[in-house]
Structure formats: structure tokens, C-alpha cells
A and B are shown apart, each in its own frame.
Chain A
Amino acid sequence: MANITKKVSWSSRDDDLAQGEGTALLNGATGAARYTRQFSGGSIFRIGRLSTVDLEEEITTEEEAILSRPKEIPHNEKLLSLKYESLDYDNSENQLFLEEEKRMSYMGFRCLEINRWVVCGLIGFLTGLIACFIDIVVENLAGVKYQLVKQNIEKFTEVGGLSISLILWALLNSVFVMVGSVIVAFFEPIAAGSGIPQIKCYLNGVKIPRVVRLKTLVVKVCGVICSVVGGLAVGKEGPMIHSGAVVAAGVSQGRSTSLKRDFKIFEYFRRDTEKRDFVSAGAAAGVSAAFGAPVGGVLFSLEEGASFWNQMLTWRIFFASMMSTFTLNFFLSIYHKKPGDLSNPGLINFGRFESDSVAYNLYEIPIFIAMGALGGVLGALFNVLNYWLTIFRIRYIHRPCLQVMEAMLVAAVTATVSFAMIYFSNDCQPLVQDQAEEYPLQLFCADGEYNSMASAFFNTPERSVRSLFHNTPGSYNPLTLGMFTLSYFFLACWTYGLTVSAGVFIPSLLIGAAWGRLFGILLATITSSGSIWADPGKYALIGAAAQLGGIVRMTLSLTVIMVEATGNVTYGLPIMLVLMTAKIVGDYFVEGLYDIHIKLQSVPFLHWEAPATSHSLTAREVMSSPVTSFNRIEKVGTIVDVLSNTSTNHNGFPVVNEYIDNTEPGKLCGLILRSQLIVLLKHKVFVERARSCLNQRKLQLKDFRDAYPRFPPIQSIHVSQDERECMMDLTEFMNPTPYTVPQETSLPRVFKLFRALGLRHLVVVDNENRAVGLVTRKDLARYHLGKHGLEELQLAQT
């Protein structure tokens, strides 16, 4: 996941930023050419520092000298990266847009609505297909691998030389993981990890570069197959969510920029507003395909992207989820040669908890809550360890070849640890027909028995989870489970964050199921009647929920996902209680894993609410000021200069009246975006040209849509010397009604506006409606509640 820090966004602006000398600025912030004088003053730089108690001491002149030039610091979590931009969720309601909306008939809107449903159906269908593909390929490849190793082990158990089997296993794992890691590290670093943090950011309104491209999807799918087959401690469920999101973003646009194909459909949906709605549907479809949990999928989208939501969207998303789980179910039933038998709703199948022993009693609830607390503590430990590891990885292991090597090493060590565990385990269990172990290993057990440790290690993680849930009591002894939990905990923690695409859901469930089962067994031995009610399978389920809750800290959606995946509503209450406790206990120590990774990627993420103690801040302190603004009728040369200024990367520009001189801000009359200006320049919409040739085609909204989402960089647009002198009339294209706030607005109020409306720019005006400042996402996201109260994050170029 760390790798996404290497490339810079904004299509081909990479070069500029790479050579920019640390002076790229906030979107829409100040510092354009005409305000150069602001750069000279050294004293303003210290504002960027954390304004915490630590700064109480006097700032000496020496420190001031250091501060006055762009500083380089090691990567840490208290940074905001410049490469992330906001999505334009708020429609630019310019004249073109209004005209088009007026032209559309009632029928037109009906058709759009129908189109939305069609798109959602397609999203569900394709996501289900992808899930089906992953499942089948993983099953077959893993089958081949395990058969090969198993035969080898059987051969060498007899004649001696088991260390060769060990090397073979490690080698096979490394090769698979190498393939998976190479495609991720060298072709699409954004596809690393589970993808849930990235999708969470996208739904939050942050444009993560290349996150919803076709190439990412291909790399993600192949990568996850390789890493699961490679025997890493990973699952294929998290990447499913990312895959669903990419499918959604692709289908809803009706074209693929990567393949250079435009199907000329769904053109209305080519903007961030619509696209994000579909992406949330795709994420839901992904969850639903992964866990067979359509309602859980909807709630996942709701929990992660809840700020922009409406009821109709919920219903559509539910439709997409249902389609996806149905598609997966249907095609898997054909694959398993039982067409029409719809019993495989998700990638992971927890099996059914139906027998009487899995009912729970009132007196067990305190036990469940205690398990939840344990899960919270263990989850926090997992997160802290992974946090330090990730920081180390970002700082030192940033070259792709190193990343590939690391992944291969982890794969080899995973195989080694598993092998050693199996080799030294003395836990032998009789083969039972109905709990058919997929690849039973006998090793030194008596004939007709299998190594119980092998049923946990020598298997895909999904199957191990299922056997922990459902194997009859007594099929694992406590020592086996303890050793397994311990080793798998560290392996999973080590694995998450590698440059492979892989999820953390299944390893968490597996760790939890193992210690939960252990807990159940111990409970049965220490209490007199325990053997009757303490069914190990039940405690394995509760432990799995607790561990997963402790690591990812999802609440509502996770409860519903677990309930749906087990197909047992009876467990609703215990699972909810367990997840609640795990979250409360875990949050006391550290944040959830996904939030940690979002932070470490320096994403300007807006949480549900503004930091609790931020009421004393007002828009005046928060905003970037002074603003780079344009006149209503502006000279082309000026626009080109501002846009191509490498030291600025502004995206929105207030348009003002009567702009007199450089020091006085003008009166606000609109807001125009960089992308719009670029399209205007490209089509040379100049006042002079319009006069000279009257029959020139009028620019339409379609021209803006065709350029979306990869607008060409300013450098690719050639403007001749003569044209520089022309004038451009922005009236028609700017958004004449941007949201504004007075300078005295408090930070939480600004924050609420941003969250609720999905804003990208918020103009701050004084009492004469003069644009004095501009608030962007990064201005808000830099305040966060740290250990010492309100802290300010630094902006960095990554």
C-alpha cells in the first residue's frame, strides 16, 4: 500500500511535481505569480508546524533559518499529501448545464432513471462474474499446489528427506507470490493491499489516482489469485470490494479510456457525482459477492460513504448487491455441476450453524462480551505492530524490487513456519467422513489419522476458517490451537501491507476463530456443565467476530455481514455486543487498521465530524489566502500563466468583478475549475474568435464530458503569442452560485458544509462579498485530534 506514494496523480503532471522544488501549493491557495512577494517573508513558514504544546519554547534564530527553507522529514502519519485531490461531487451549475437540464424532457429524466437501474444490474452481474472467476481459479490452482506438495511429503515421509518437501513448498509459494507481487509493484502499485482504504477514501470524496481504472482491476484480480494460491496469510474478500468499485466506475461511464473504446452510452453519467454513486453500488456488490451478504454490502457503503446518500440510491445499491450475489451463486452452481442449486452465495461460506448445541444462553453473554474485549486488545496489538511495520516499509522498502523480494520472503517464511508447525505437531485426529479435510496430511500419525495442525495450515485460509467453525468438538487439541493462533497472528500482521493485493478479513477471522475455539475448549474443561453448552464452533464464531472487529473496527455493516454469512439471525445480538466491545476497547488504544493506512498514505480524509475541540477556529484561520482569482473577462495569457505555474496546483478559481489591483480582492461572482479552463483553452473559446467567425460552434456540456475524467495537462495545449493577447469570457462556464461562508464561520460549521454537500471549494467572503479566501479539503483535514489536543498536519509532497 505504501507504493502509491511513488507516482504522482493528475495524469501527466507527474513531471512537474517531480521537479517542483517543494513549492507546490494547496488547491486554489494563494501564491500564484502575482503574489510572489508572499514567498519572501520567512516568518510565515513556521505556521506549518504542529501548533501543539511542544512549541512553547522560544524559536531561536537558528531554528528559524532551518524553517525558512523547504524541510525534508521522514515519512510519518502526520502529513497530508499533495497528490490527492477532491472529487467534484458538487455540480457546477453553469449556464451550459442549466440549458441542458432545461432541454431535457420529463421522459428524458425517466430514461436516466431506468439507465441507472440498468447500470446497477450490470455492476452486480459483472462483479459476481469476477468473484466467480477468482473463486474457481484459486480453487484449482491451490488444489494443484497442495496436491503436489502433499504427494511430495508423502513420498519423503517414507524414504526420508522431508526438508526437500519444505523447500519445494517454500519455492512454490514464492513463485506464485513473486508473480503477484511483480505485477503489483511494477505495473499498478495502487492495487496493493485490500483496496478497502482506497475505496473508503474515494467514497469520502478523495480522488485517489488510478484507483478505478481497468488496469487496476486486472492487476488486482490476478494479484489476489497469486497471493492466495501462494499461501500467504491473506483472503480474497477485501480485493473483491475494490474490484466491484472498479467495475462500477467502468460500466457507468460506458467507455474505457484504457482500451480507447467509447460505446457512446451513459454519457450523462460522466461526472464525479454520478460516478461516485455507482462506485458505492460497486463496493456494495463486492461485499455482497465476497460474503454472500447483500444487506451487509449496502450497509458497508452506507457506513463508509454515508455523507452523500439518498433513499433511492439505497434501493438501487441493494439491487446491485442482490444481482451480484445471485450471479455468483448461479455460476458457481453450474461450476459445481448442480445448476440451479443456489447455495453458494459468497466467496467465503461460513457453513450453517443449525444444530441445537449452537443455541446460546443468557449466561453466556458476559462471556461473549469478555471475548469481545479480548478481541479489541488483540486487534489493537495487531494494528500497532502493523503500523510500525508499515512506517518502516514506507521509509526503507520503497523500491519495487525490494518490495517483490520482501513479498517472496514472507511467502517462503509462511511456508516454513507452517511446515515446522505441522512437522512438530503430535496432534493426530481420526479421519471422519463428513468433515472431509481437503488435503489431509498423515506424516507421522497412525494410518487412518491425519495431522490436525495440517488441517489448519495446509489449506486455503477460507477452508481453515470453516473447519474451525464446524469440525466436531475434539478435532483440535488446545496446544495446536494455541500455537496456530500465535504463529498466524504474526504472519498475518507481517503480511498485511506487502506489495501484493490481498485482504485482511479472512486472516483476522482465522486468528479469531482459532483462539475462540481454544476459549471454548478451555471453557468446557473448567466448568462442570461446560461440555454441554460450550460448543467450540460457536465460540470460534464469536472469537472470529471479536478479532475482526478489533482489527477493522467496522460496526453495523460487519454485524450484518457476519449474520448473513452464517445465515443465522439468532447470533445477531451476541455478534453485535462482541463487535461493540471490541471497538470500544480497541479504540482506547489505537485506530482501526484501515484508518491507520489511510493516515499513513497522507490522504486528506474527512471524518464524520470535525475534531471535538475545533470550535475556536474560524474560517479566517482555516482558509488559504489570498486567492488566485480571475476576472470575468480575462486575458488568455494570464490564465495560461496561472495554470502552467508549476509551483501551484490550484484547481478552483473564484471569478471576480472589478478586479483592480493585486492587493485588493475583488467581488465574487462565480467559481471556475481548472478542468473547465483547460477545455476552454483547448477549444479556443476566445472573445475575438467568436467575433471574427460567427458561425463557430457553440461549446456544449458534451465537450466537457468527453474530456472527463482525464483532462489534458496545460502543457499539451498550445497557445500562440497572438492568442495570449485574446480575452476569454468565463461568464457562461463558471458556476455563478458557488457556496460561500463569511470569515467568522466556525470550523465545525464549515466542516459540516463540506461533508454534507461534498464540496471541493468553499469561498470565504467578507461583508462586501469580496473573495478573501478559499477553503479546500486539505485545509480542513489538517486539523486532527491527537494525543495533545488539536494538532495540525503538515503538507508534504509525496
Chain B
Amino acid sequence: MMLLSIPGFLLTLTILDTGHASTSGPNVASPEPEVSGNGVPGSESNVLHSLPRQAQSSYFPSLLLSAFPEDLEVGDYCRELLHIFGQRYVSYVNCLVPSARPVKICQNCHVEFNNLQDIYSNISSEQLGPGNASCRDTLLRSDRLMLVFQLFHDLQQIWAISNCARCLSEGGQSLSNVTLYYMATLNQSLSCFEKHQQQGNHSELCKECKKAYRDLNELYSRMEKNESLCLDIEDAMNITRKLWSKTFNCSFPREETVPVIAVSSFMLFLPIIFYLSSFLHSEQKKRKLILPKRATSHTNLMNIQDRSRSEQVLHGDYR
């Protein structure tokens, strides 16, 4: 089997390499079920994939006129992995989209992401599955599109940008204690807001909820220092702050304008006094002129003076 599979794989490569035009058929065809799987609810794609190979080849008679020999095609095991990957991919995306606003992806979707990651690591592992087939090469690197890799990479990117790992416990199985505590604190503030909002008096709200809000802020800045913030928490905090500052208008007012102006103008006044007093009292620095000795040796003491005057006349001419 070993002996057979290796040349078979090489053959696949050579086919793919030698003529892009000729192999464009399979290349285009292969992503198609995935696209449909993404767009349409999962059941249909499941049907497509779960079809046995023989049935599949008859399902697309026009496209796969010449079925590849057994060994060149993707093995059963890998097909199975790909199938599971597709399912989990769909469920993860399905979870992500509703959690987009306000951002709750880390809280809601970490289970799905873990599942997806597991299956991907299965696919990309070096270990040979049953039948000695390495799915890593067949599924991930066989063509220039590298669809499976690309899809997973994009989703992983989303997860990484959101810093979701920071909010999860070790191993990523559940939310971390800090996050849960933060959520609890957040709820306190929000319920306080809600309680007083109904009274319609915002100044009352600002006073009453100040403690809860400040606790929340302190917790947040502590977590910021520990680098245990994920996007969920940041977003929640942002919304709360906006509520507090913009909706309820609880920011600090600019109250003490007068003392600030007084102190500033006093400070600005000091240099004026300083310069005036140094102008009036400081002795002006004088420079002693030194008298240069010029070519004075013989008769023409006054010559330079005269000459320089005549020069000025000269200069005057062309100025």
C-alpha cells in the first residue's frame, strides 16, 4: 500500500503542476460544495458530503467524466475529516454572526472555536491516519488556493484580533474567573442604571451609581494592566462609558475656571515683572571698543577713510 500510495501522490502533483488549464476542472469544482455549504443551511451540504464516493461521481457526471484512480483521490479518512471540519466551521460562523453587535463572540463561541481548532489540528497533524494517508498534504497543500487553510486562517485571525484567549481559562474550555467577575460587576452597574433611568433624573443616577461604576472602571483598568482584556469586555466597557458620559452626562463639569485663570495670569505676569525690573535695574553691559592698528606707518593715516568713502560711491553706483 505504501509503495502504491507514494507514486500515486506524486502523480497527483504532476497532474496539477503540468497543466493548469487541464486541471482547472477539478480545481474549480472542489470548492463548490463548500461554498454552497456555507451559504445554505448545513443539512444540504451534509447530504452532499455524506454521499458515498461512487454516488458522488454519478452525481456530477458532466464534471468528473474521468474519475481519478483510487489512490490519487482523497482517502476516506481525510474526506471524513473534511466533512467534520465543514460542519464545525458552519456552526462556528453561525455563532459568530449573531454575536457581532454588541460583541459577545468570546463568551458565546469559545466552544465552537475549540471544536474547530481541534479538527483543524487533526487535519494538519503529521500523524498518518488509517490507511497511512496524511491528510495534511492532500487537504491543505495540494493546490494554489489552499482553501481549508485559508478558511481556518481567517477565522483564527478574528479570534486572535479579539484577544479572546485572554478571557478564557487555561486550555480555553470556559470563561476565566476574572471575566465572570467582570460580567457580574458590569451587571451591577447596568441594573443600577436601569433602576434610576426610569426615574428620569440623571443627576440622581450619577450620584447613586457612581460607586458601582467606579468599581467597574477600577476593575477594568486592573485587568488592562494584567492584559486580561478581550474584545467582549472592551466593548462592554465602551458602551457603559458612553452611557455614563454621553447619555447620562455624568462627566466632570468644568467648574473652577476662575482659580485656574487667576493662577495662570499670575504666572504669566511674573516674566513681565522680571524683564521690566532687569531692564530698569540691571546695569547694561557695555563693550569696550578696541582700536585696530591699520597700515598707518607712513604718511597716509587718513587714506583708508578716504578710500572706503570712494568705495561707497562705487558701490552706490551699482546698487
Question: Do A and B make up one complex?
Answer: yes
Residues of A at the B interface (CB closer than 8 Å) are 5, 22-26, 29-31, 38, 41, 43-48, 51-53, 55-56, 70-75, 79, 82, 157-158, 160-163, 166-167, 170, 392, 394-399, 402, 405-406, 409-410, 412-413, 416-417, 419-420, 423, 443-449, 613, 616-617, 620-621, 623-626, 772-773, 779, 782, 788-790, 792, 794-798
Of residues B261, B286, B291, B307, which shows the largest number of chain A Cβ atoms within 10 Å of its Cβ? B291
26 contacts between A and B (CB under 8 A): A22-B289, A23-B290, A25-B293, A44-B296, A51-B304, A82-B290, A157-B252, A161-B259, A163-B262, A395-B285, A399-B282, A409-B270, A410-B271, A417-B268, A444-B251, A445-B251, A447-B244, A448-B242, A616-B311, A625-B296, A782-B292, A788-B312, A789-B315, A794-B289, A794-B290, A795-B291
User: Which residue in B278, B287, B297, B312 is a CB contact (below 8 Å) of A51?
Assistant: B312
Given A413-B270, A416-B268, A773-B295, A396 and B284 contact (CB-CB distance below 8 Å): yes
Q: A25-B293, A409-B274, A625-B293 are in contact. Are A55 and B285 (CB under 8 A)?
A: no
Q: How many whole Å from B295's CB to the nearest CB in chain A?
A: 5
Q: Is the CB of B242 within 8 A of A446?
A: yes
CB distance from B219 to the nearest CB of A (A): 14
Residues of A within 8 A of B66 (CB): none
CB pair B302–A797 under 8 Å, yes or no, is: no
Question: Does B17 count as interface, using CB distance less than 8 angstroms?
Answer: no
Q: Which residues of A contact B255 (CB under 8 A)?
A: 160
B20 within 8 A of A: no
Given contacts A47-B304, A626-B293, 13 further A-B contacts (CB under 8 A): A25-B290, A25-B292, A26-B293, A44-B293, A55-B305, A75-B287, A161-B259, A166-B264, A394-B285, A398-B285, A625-B293, A779-B292, A796-B288
CB distance from B221 to the nearest CB of A (A): 11
Do residues B295 and A623 form an inter-chain contact, with CB atoms below 8 A? Answer: yes
Q: Is there contact, CB below 8 Å, between A446 and B245? A: yes
CB of A46 within 8 A of CB of B305, answer yes
In the bound assembly, the distance between CA atoms of A75 and B289 in angstroms comes to 10
Instruction: Determine the main DSSP class of B at the interface with A.
Output: helix
Bound-complex Cα distance A796 to B289 (A):
4
Taken together as a complex, chains A and B put the C-alpha atoms of A44 and B288 apart, in Å, by 17
Find out whether the CB atom of B289 lies under 8 angstroms from the CB atom of A626.
Answer: no
- Inter-subunit contact B312/A53 (CB<8 Å): yes
**Chain A residues within 8 Å of B254, by CB:** 423, 444
Q: Does B267 contact A (CB under 8 A)?
A: yes
Report whether A419 and B264 are in contact in the complex, using a CB–CB cutoff of 8 Å: yes
What chain B residues lie within 8 Å of A772 (beta carbons)? 297
Q: What residues of chain B lie closer than 8 Å to A170, measured between beta carbons?
A: 267
Q: What residues of A have a CB within 8 angstroms of the CB of B147 in the complex?
A: none
Q: Would you call A38 and B296 a contact (CB within 8 A)?
A: yes
Given the complex, which residues of B lie within 8 Å of A398, measured CB to CB? 282, 285
Instruction: Give which listed residue, A5, A158, A795, contacts B289 with CB less than 8 A.
Output: A795
CA distance A416 to B314 in the complex (A): 56
A55 to B256, CA, bound (A): 62
Distance from B302 Cβ to chain A, minimum over Cβ atoms (Å): 7
Does any Cβ of A come within 8 Å of B263's Cβ?
yes
Q: Which residue of A lies closest to B263 (CB)?
A: A163
Query: In the bound complex, how far is the Cα of B251 from the Cα of A180, in angstroms?
Result: 40
Interface contact A51-B308, CB-CB below 8 Å: yes
Contact of B256 among A79, A160, A449 (CB under 8 A): A160
Within 8 A of A (CB), among B201-247: 217, 237-238, 241-242, 244-246
Top 8 A-B residue pairs of the complex, sorted by shortest distance between their CB atoms: A446-B245, A51-B308, A447-B241, A796-B287, A72-B286, A416-B267, A795-B290, A22-B288
- What distance in Å separates the Cβ of A678 from its nearest Cβ neighbour in chain B? 23
Q: Of B238, B242, B278, B305, which is within 8 A of A397 by CB?
A: B278
Is the pair B237, A44 in contact by a Cβ cutoff of 8 Å? no
Q: Which residues in A have their C-beta under 8 angstroms from that of B289?
A: 22, 48, 70-73, 794-797
Pair B260/A162 contact, Cβ less than 8 Å: yes
Are A413 and B304 also in contact (CB < 8 A) when A38-B296, A70-B289 are? no
Q: Which of A38, A74, A416, A789 contacts B319 (CB 8 A)?
A: A789
A75–B292 touching, CB < 8 Å:
no
Contacts of A779 in B (CB 8 A): 292
Contact A43/B290 with A162-B256, A163-B260, A396-B284 known, Cβ cut-off 8 Å: no
Question: A48, B268: Cβ atoms under 8 Å?
Answer: no
Find chain B residues with CB under 8 A from A48 CB: 289-292
Contacts of A73 in B (CB 8 A): 286-287, 289
Interface on chain A toward B: helix, strand, loop, or mixed SS?
mixed
A residues less than 8 Å from B244 (CB atoms): 447
Q: Which of B237, B245, B264: most chain A CB closer than 10 A? A: B264
| Interface flag for B253 (CB, 8 Å) | yes
- Shortest B203–chain A CB gap in Å is 16
- Contact (Cβ within 8 A) B311 A790: yes
The yes or no answer to B279 lying at the interface (CB within 8 A) is: yes
Query: Given contacts A75-B287, A396-B279, A446-B242, is CB(A158)–CB(B264) below 8 Å?
Result: no
Which A residues are in CB contact (< 8 Å) with B282? 396-399, 402
**Contact of B309 with A by CB under 8 A:** yes
User: Which B residues are in CB contact (< 8 Å) with A625?
Assistant: 293-297
Minimum Cβ distance to chain A for residue B209 (Å): 13
B249 closest partner in A (C-beta): A446
Q: Does B15 contact A (CB under 8 A)?
A: no
**Given A56-B309, A416-B267, A158 and B290 touching (CB < 8 A)?**
no
Give the complex CA separation of A188 and B304 in angstroms: 41
Nearest CB on B from A709, distance (A): 25
Report yes or no: A51 in contact with B279, Cβ–Cβ below 8 A. Answer: no
B51: interface (CB < 8 Å): no
Judged by a CB distance under 8 angstroms, whether B301 is at the interface is yes
- Chain B residues in 8 Å Cβ range of A617: 311
Interface centre among A47, A795, A796 (most CB of B within 10 A): A47
Given known A448-B242, A797-B287, contact A626–B270 (CB-CB < 8 A): no
Q: Which residues of B contact A75 (CB under 8 A)?
A: 285-287
Which chain A residues border B263 with CB–CB below 8 Å?
163, 166-167, 416
Flag if A74 contacts B295 (CB, 8 Å).
Answer: no
Residues on the A chain within 8 Å of B293, using CB: 25-26, 29-31, 38, 44, 624-626
Q: How far is the CA of A333 from the CA of B297 in the complex (A)?
A: 68
Interface-central residue, A5, A406, A789, by most chain B CB under 10 Å: A789
How far is B267's CA from A419's CA once the two chains are assembled, in angstroms? 12
B241 contact set on A, CB distance < 8 A: 446-448
Residues of A within 8 A of B290 (CB): 22-26, 48, 70, 82, 794-797
Contact of A70 among B288, B301, B309 (CB under 8 A): B288
Structural contact, A447 and B262, CB atoms closer than 8 A: no
Task: Find out whether the CB atom of B314 lies under 8 angstroms from the CB atom of A616.
Answer: yes
B287 contact from A72, A399, A409, Cβ within 8 A: A72
| Docked pose: A31 CA to B294 CA in angstroms | 10
The interface residues of chain A lying within 8 Å CB-to-CB of B251 are: 444-447
Q: Is the CB of B297 within 8 A of A413?
A: no
Minimal beta-carbon separation of B102 from chain A (angstroms)? 15
Complex Cα gap A26–B291 (Å): 9
CB of B258 to closest CB in A, whole Å: 9
Please indicate the chain B residues that have their CB under 8 angstroms from the CB of A43 in the complex: 301-302
Q: Which residues on the B side are within 8 Å of A44 (C-beta)?
A: 291, 293-294, 296, 301
**Minimal Cβ-Cβ distance residue in B for A43:** B301
Minimum CB distance partner of A797 in chain B:
B288
A190 → chain B closest CB, angstroms: 18
Chain A residue at minimal CB-CB distance from B318? A613
Shortest CB-to-CB span from B263 to chain A, Å, is 5
Contact B256 A163, beta carbon cutoff 8 Å:
yes
| A780 CA / B136 CA spacing, docked (Å) | 83
Given contact pairs A25-B293, A51-B309, A396-B285, A444 touches B252 in the complex (Cβ within 8 A):
yes
Chain B residues in 8 Å Cβ range of A397: 278, 282
CA distance A443 to B241 in the complex (A): 15
Instruction: Provide the residues of chain B in CB contact with A395, threshold 8 Å.
Output: 284-285
User: How far is A29 from B293 in the complex, measured between Cα atoms in Å?
Assistant: 7
| Chain B residues, CB < 8 A from A399 | 282
Given A396-B284, A448-B241, are A52 and B312 neighbors across the interface (CB < 8 Å)?
yes
Q: In the complex, what's the smallest C-beta–C-beta distance from B270 to chain A, in angstroms?
A: 6
